[in-house]
Every structure is written in C-alpha cells, then in structure tokens.
Structure 1
Amino acid sequence: MSKKGVSAEEKRKRMLQLFYEKGEFFQLKELEKLAPKAKGIVANSVKDVIQQLVEDGLVDTDKIGTSIYYWAFPSKSLTTRKKQLEKITAELEEVTEKLKIIDNTLEASKGNEEDEEKCKKVLEEINDKEIELRRLQQELKNYQDNDPEKFADLVKKTQELKDAANRWTDNIFAIQSWCEKKFMLEKNVINKQFGIPDDFDYLE
C-alpha cells in the first residue's frame, strides 16, 4: 500500500517550522536538499511551497548579488497573522452591519400579507447567521496565532457568511423591485421608508 501524500497545507506548515527551527538564510537549492530529509517534503515541490509562503507574506526573500535568499522568523509570522485577523474582524463587522440593515428592512416590509411568510423565513435565516457571526467573533478573541488550521477554518466560515449575506441582499433587491411595481414608488423613496442606505450593495 502506498503512503498517503503530504497535503499542501501540511507542506506549508512543515516548511515554516524548518525556517523557525534553523533561524538561517537559505538558497532554494539548499532548501531542496534539506527539506526532504528534515521535514519529508519532496524536493520537486519545495519551490512551489516557498513561492506560496512568499506570496502570503510568511517568508521573506531578497537577491544578494546573483543569489536569491529566503528566510522566516516567528515574529514575522505573528505580525502577518495579526494583520489577517484584523482583516477578518473588519469583514465580520461589515457583514453584521449589513445583516442588521436587511433584518430591519424585512421587518418593516412584513405588513404585506403576500410576502409575510417569505419574510418570516428570511428573518429566521438572518437570525441564524447573526448567531453564527457572534460565535465567530468570540472565537476570534480566543484565537491563538500559532494555530493555522483554525485560522483557515475561520476564513472559510467568514466567506460562507459573506455569501449568505449576499443571498439576503438578493431578497432585499427583489422586495424593492416588487414595491416599485406594486406601489409605483421610486427606489430612493423605498430606501428612505425602510432605512436602506443608498450605497447598499453586495459584499465583495
């Protein structure tokens, strides 16, 4: 039975550990010789792993003369991950704010009997997303910078919440369109009535 290959994420973790343990500057050829023995990373994948880490800001590189050197220290990783966490926290706050707007808008539109059931279901879904957001925010407070797997999971869940918020944004636009046709109202009048900002749009 053949051995299971090492995942891309595991290779990244092992390569960073190699840099942290050695605390030295390396050329690519040196890493291609050292990584297979020290961390079980096959030589022909070392270059790709290093490039990914450089692009993510976890490994530094510079050309000295005709040689290119690579290095990484724990303090660099800590700073990079703190910045990533700050970005995620800002995105979570943005999603929360937009979900509140959607919640208020749908609550105001519940007077239409035709849409009441639909609004009820959407509001229940939004409430679930808000609960999930609060849970994620609490996890962020307890997040340990040396746990990249947990960090990756939070990034994934954040994207899922953004996608969910955009689906509810679709519903708001649908309700706006229905009100425009049903009551012959201008969009800006509907926005003012339900407290929808003029720049209300999908999360990017």
Structure 2
Amino acid sequence: MQSKKRGLSLEEKRERMLQIFYDSQDFFLLKELEKSGPKKGVISQSVKDVVQSLVDDDLVSKDKIGTSVYFWSLPSCAGNQLRNVYRKLETELQSSKKRHSELLEHSTNLKKGREESDEREEALEELKATEQKHMELKEELAQYADNDPATIEKMKSAVQVAHAAANRWTGHLPDTRITNFLGKYFYWYKHAVIVQREWTCTKLALIEQMLLGSADSIFTLREWCSNKFPQAKEQLDHLYNEVGITDELDYLELPVAVPHLPGKDQIV
C-alpha cells in the first residue's frame, strides 16, 4: 500500500515561492501568486502567509501602486539580502563570543578567595548564626511595638480626646436654648390639665434633639430642672430615663497608664 504523500514544510514552501519570482523576474499581484503557487505544490490558501514571511525577512519586496499591491524579488536582490543577513549574524556571533569571554573571566575572579577551607566554613557558619539572631531580634522587637513611645503618645492623645468628650456632658453650664426650651415645656405641662390639650409641642424627641445638639452639662441641667419645677419630679425622672440620664452616669477619670511588657504580668 502506497504511503500518504507528506506535505511541504514552511521552508520548502518559501523556497518554491521564491523560485516563482526568480524564474519570471516579474511583478505579481497576490491573486496571481495564489494561482501560481499550486503549480509549485503550494496550496493557494497558504500562499499569502508564505509570501508575507518572505517579505518580513526582506527576501521579497512589496509596494503599493495606486490601489494595487505588487510583490517582486530578483536573484541579485536576494543575494544582497542574504549577504546582509550573514553580516548581521556574524556581528552578533562575535558579540556573543566576547560576552562569553567576559563572563568566564568574571566567574574566575569571583572564585578567587572563595576556595573551600576550614576558615571559610567557619565564617559561613558564623554568618548563618548572625542572620538567625537578627531574625529573632526583629521578632522580639515587633512584640514591643505597642510600647513604642510615639504609639503611646498617640494613644494618650486619643484617650484624652475621648475623656474630654465624655465629660463634656457633665462639666459645663446649661445652654440658654435648652433652659428656655425646657421652661416652655414645663409651662405647657403645668397648664395641660387646665386647657385639656395634647402635648404636641413637647414631644420627647424634640428635647432629645436639643440635648444631643449641644455640649452642655447634664448634672447642672438636672439640678436646674429640680429647682425650677419641684412639683414635676416624677415627670422629670421619666424624662431623664427616656434620654438615657440615669444614676449610673458619672464623670470619667483617666487611669494611670502602665506600659505592658511582653511576657510580663502587668502591675497597676
């Protein structure tokens, strides 16, 4: 049984397409080459890619004239092109040889003083131990990061700001807006039974909004309300509970900061 015929390799296709140019020494359109290619054993579907590879390697010239693109290649031009390629490759070869020689020399210089010896082995062991110690110290240092002076100062500042904000509710005189508002509130409360009307103007949400929108003393406000409206103690207590003012509310005091040392019990 006859074996199946092997197809042409890319290089064989290139050679056969070049031969078309050399034999005719003429100019061709791509569609003309696609017709001539099968006569040389190159199928028309692959002619375009083969010709383009020849153009990329400067073995075939290409130019656009009007709306048409022409291809051509002469034996003399091909010889010149091949000689140029040869010279380029020869230059690259010489450059590579020089670089290889330089690398060999550099490698030889690096080996000097690094010959195997007991002293070298001891030095390498010492270097390894030093690097290990360095890593251990870095890990230990990371454990003390929380006690870094700069970090501690930032934490102190943040605590003081929070402390001042908390005590801002318990350390100043009441704002005139709140006292006036509460005065109106209890005025309407006092007369509500008489006039038999809803407390629509005294919603607890309005009082809470006034409190949250100011930076005034809660303790002083409570004292002022108790003195101003002694007959409304039960209603005042109810109001305090509604807005979160309980007997547990108190001033905050800053504790004494004691740095925490890793691996040590903290003593206050």
TM-score, length-scaled by structure 2: 0.41
- How far does residue 26 in structure 1 lie from its aligned partner after superposition? 0.9
The aligned residue for residue 46 of structure 2 is 45
Paired amino acid for 2:9: S
In the alignment, what sits opposite 2:36?
34
Q: State the 1:63 CA deviation.
A: 1.8
Pairing partner for 2:21 from 13, 16, 19 = 19
Distance 1:109 1:61 in 2: 53
- Secondary structure of 1:114's aligned partner: coil
Equivalent position of 2:73 in the other structure: 72
Cα offsets for 1:38-94 (capped at 9, x unmatched): x11111111111111111111111222222211100121112211211111111111
**What is the distance in 1 between the residues matched to 2:105 and 2:75?**
45
SS in structure 1 of the partner of residue 69 of structure 2: strand
Point out where structure 1 has 5 or more consecutive residues left out of the alignment: 116-177, 183-204
Aligned partner of residue 113 in structure 1, secondary structure = coil
Q: How does 1:150-169 map to 2 (within 5 A)?
A: none
Residue in 2 that maps onto 1:114: 116
Deviation (angstroms), 1:13? 0.8
Other-structure match for 1:92? 93
Give the aligned residue type for 1:16.
L
Match of 2:62 in 1: 61
The one-letter code sitting in structure 2 at the alignment partner of 1:114 is E
Going from structure 1 to structure 2, the CA distance change for 1:109 and 1:70 (only over 3 Å counts) comes to same
Match among 8, 11, 23 for residue 9 of structure 1: 11
1:15: how far off?
0.6
Query: Moved runs in structure 1, 4+ residues, more than 6 A?
Result: none
Structure with greater Cα Rg = 2
Question: What is the match of residue 103 of structure 2?
Answer: 102
AA paired with 1:94?
Answer: S
The CA deviation at 1:114 is 3.4
What is the DSSP-based 3-state SS (H/G/I as helix, E as strand, rest coil) of the residue aligned with 1:62? strand
Aligned to 1:129: none
* Equivalent residue number for residue 172 of structure 1: none
Quickly say closer, same or farther: Cα 1:63–1:109, change in 2 above 3 A: closer
**SS at the partner of 2:62?**
strand
5+ residue gaps, structure 2 = 118-123, 129-268
Larger relative CO (CA 8 A, sep 6+): 1 or 2? Answer: 1
What percentage of residue pairs aligned between the two structures are identical? 45
- Equivalent residue, structure 1, for 2:200: none
Equivalent-residue separation in structure 2 for 1:79 and 1:8 (angstroms): 23
SS at match of 2:70: strand
- 1:6 is paired with a residue whose SS is coil
State the distance in 2 between where 1:110 and 1:63 align.
Answer: 60
Question: How does the TM-score come out when normalised to structure 1?
Answer: 0.53
Letter in 1 for 2:94: E
Query: How many pairs does the alignment contain?
Result: 117
Alignment of 1:124-163 (within 5 A): none
